[in-house]
Structure 1
Amino acid sequence: MDFYKIFKQHNITIDKDVFDYGYTILKNYFIIFIISMFFSLIFQTLIETLFFFFSFVWLRRYLGGFHFNNSFCCNFFSLLLIILVPISIKYFLTIDWISLIIICALSLTLFLIIGPLDHPNKKITKNEKTVFKKKGFIIEIFFLIILLICKFFNFNIIVNSICMSFICSSISQVIALIKIFREQ
């Protein structure tokens, strides 16, 4: 099915390259999600996988981070991350109050200092950077509030999952920053 033609038939104008890029990203997310759900059923980490996946995708969307130079590496390592992190959450990880506060404070500070990062293959304009910074800050605060409420009620699966998305997102930002400095 040619979705681009459907858009054009309904007078929705979008550059073909932009459409193809977005469609490819959406398709990759869907494939990664389906495969990770399959593995989450095998390893009995469905809840951990869902909370990690969605919080990580939202954080990554507005915070940016490291990008591989090709789609295969990106998809492979994203899938690996989304399978292995929930396993570690379920079987090895419990985050206490002090660790929670440190993780959130470091993640928020890092984001405020670095801000959203772009990639040579996907540059963001100054205006987009401002919008992403505002939305990223709101997303981080939203997750911070969820974390505090869930920790208070001992919903540790949610706490651990979202905290790991903060950690992975922060590591991705630092790696991207190091890569940017090395290339300059």
Structure 2
Amino acid sequence: MIFCFGIIIILLSGVLLDELPRTLVFVTCIFPLRQNAGGFHFNDSKKCTVCSLGLLIISIKLMKIISLSSLCAILLSLISTGFILYFAPVGNKNRELDELERKVYGRRTKCICLVENFLLLSFIIVNANNWYQTIIFAEMITSFLVILGVVQEQYTKGEKY
């Protein structure tokens, strides 16, 4: 039920922002990456939904006003992907990962990053700015949430970082 509600909110947001195709590409990029890389999580699903919707809306609005050069896009992708691949997968107190899960999710994360970066380069080659920017935003947000997840995980375990 919550999943269906989330999909409806995402579609409605895309329509209201007059950016349904970009919203769908953004969600298609960020969902599998976040699902496998892990990162910061709220304990409350309502907070998660509100924050996710806020990130979606802010991202789509920023993509409308910011135009990244292809060089900037490549640099941001390298930095974001580097953080994701270095730290992911990240567990949380609701879902601690054992060694096998770390390997499986880590492998999946690498594959997803590879596919997304291949698409990014393809979009750069054909000068499809809207689409490569969408992938970049998904990667940057994921890398930020992965880093926050590492801090959250260490804080939960009482470790210093």
Instruction: Note whether the superposition's TM-score is higher than 0.5.
Output: yes
Q: Output the amino acid matched with 1:94.
A: S
Picking from 124, 131, 136, the partner of 2:104 is 131
| 4+ runs deviating over 6 angstroms | none
Q: Which runs of 5+ in 1 are unaligned?
A: 1-26
Structure-to-structure mapping, 1:28-177, within 5 angstroms: 28-90=2-64, 92-177=65-150
CA RMSD of aligned residues (A): 1.4
How many Å separate the matches in 2 of 1:28 and 1:81? 18
Contact kept in structure 2, 1:64 and 1:173, CA below 8 Å: yes
Aligned length: 157
Query: C-alpha offsets along residues 44-73 of structure 1, whole Å, 9 cap, x if unaligned?
Result: 111111111110101101111100011110
Contact kept in structure 2, 1:116 and 1:132, CA below 8 Å: yes
Contact kept in structure 1, 2:92 and 2:152, CA below 8 Å: no
Q: Which runs of 5+ in 2 are unaligned?
A: none
Query: C-alpha offsets along residues 63-95 of structure 1, whole Å, 9 cap, x if unaligned?
Result: 1110001111011111221222112212x1222
SS at match of 1:121: coil
Query: C-alpha offsets along residues 23-58 of structure 1, whole Å, 9 cap, x if unaligned?
Result: xxxx43332221121122122111111111110101
How many Å separate the matches in 2 of 1:59 and 1:175? 15
Q: Output the amino acid matched with 1:143.
A: E
Q: Output the amino acid matched with 1:177.
A: V
Contact kept in structure 2, 1:45 and 1:87, CA below 8 Å: no
Contact kept in structure 1, 2:84 and 2:142, CA below 8 Å: no
State the percentage of identical aligned residues. 22
Which TM-score applies when normalising by structure 1? 0.80
How many Å separate the matches in 2 of 1:93 and 1:140? 23
Query: Which structure is larger by alpha-carbon Rg, 1 or 2?
Result: 1
